[in-house]
Amino acid sequence: MESMQKSENVLNSNKGRLLISCPDKPGIVAAVSQFLYRQGANIVESNQYSTDPAGGTFFMRIEFECEDLGENAPNLKEAFTAIAENFEMDWRLSLASQLKKTAIFVSKEPHCLLELLWEYQSGELDAEIALVVSNHEDSRTLVESLGIPYHYIPANKDIRKEVEEKQLQLLEEYQIELIVLARYMQILTPDFVSKHPNRIINIHHSFLPAFIGAKPYERAYGRGVKLIGATSHYVTNDLDEGPIIEQGVERVSHHHNAEDLKRIGRSVERSVLARAVNWHLQDRVIVHENKTIVFH
């Protein structure tokens, strides 16, 4: 696994990603393209979207190859500043070779964790999984067998502040850039969330706002639902109402009992979370107000 990731880093050593949002007006694409051309870069992927060509917001993601990018990135960023200021851009340039350090939080249900670990092992998750944090010991053996540190921190609402202090200390120690809540069944405080804006990704069933609370699948079965789904979103202080990154559904019928619904739901949750996490890791997501622009 380590050699595969090193190989991928070598292959991506000259690949950069530029994400831009700014007021829409003529000339943005031309200015950015000409800038990259002057820097000796070759654009390999380009996507853009405008909420309204007349006074809306413009979004753009460009992936490019540029010789010796790792060494020249600071100069490239400095040179781009003039264009960014001219078009009033919010922007960021990232290097594909620099994998984002990721922490996975999990409770008892391991299905989402297992999916992420599988994609990590197979080289399909563009991340460096630095640690796993859990309020249960259930997944320790699995995680540690892959050489990933596992931190058990018991948690409940009565000791939430102390728990989060320990978690935040770990996140700082490991220099974490992304937190994935892989069925972590504890509510995060506003203080915790504010320290990681648009860098905490959650997964939950898509019955919301129906069937809030305990045993959603049992109650959904009692109502005879015909669709099972999952939603992955960024965490905000409004519980389960952060910007949505990805969703998925599967059709069910009267033949399925409550356990069937859970099984189908777990399958959807796994795939939806993995896609959302990978899109974030590949710098394909821009948050705009309480929505996301996702460049597939």
Considering the candidates 138, 158, 238, 240, report the single residue annotated as catalytic.
240
Instruction: Give yes or no for a contact between 17 and 282, defined as CB atoms under 8 angstroms apart.
Output: yes
Instruction: Give yes or no for a contact between 284 and 61, defined as CB atoms under 8 angstroms apart.
Output: yes
Cα–Cα dist 1/137, whole Å: 24
Cα–Cα dist 234/199, whole Å: 7
Q: Please name the residue that has the structure tokens 């959603």.
A: 216
Cα–Cα dist 11/33, whole Å: 23
Cα–Cα dist 130/37, whole Å: 36
The strands making up 100-106's β-sheet, listed across from edge to edge, are 150-152, 127-134, 100-106, 178-181, 200-205, 227-234, 244-251
Cα–Cα dist 245/243, whole Å: 6
Cα–Cα dist 191/200, whole Å: 13
The strands making up 15-23's β-sheet, listed across from edge to edge, are 42-50, 57-65, 15-23, 90-95
Cα–Cα dist 130/105, whole Å: 11
Listed residue (204, 237, 105) closest to 164, CA to CA: 105
How many residues would you count in the chain?
296
* 138 labelled catalytic: no
Catalytic residues: 240
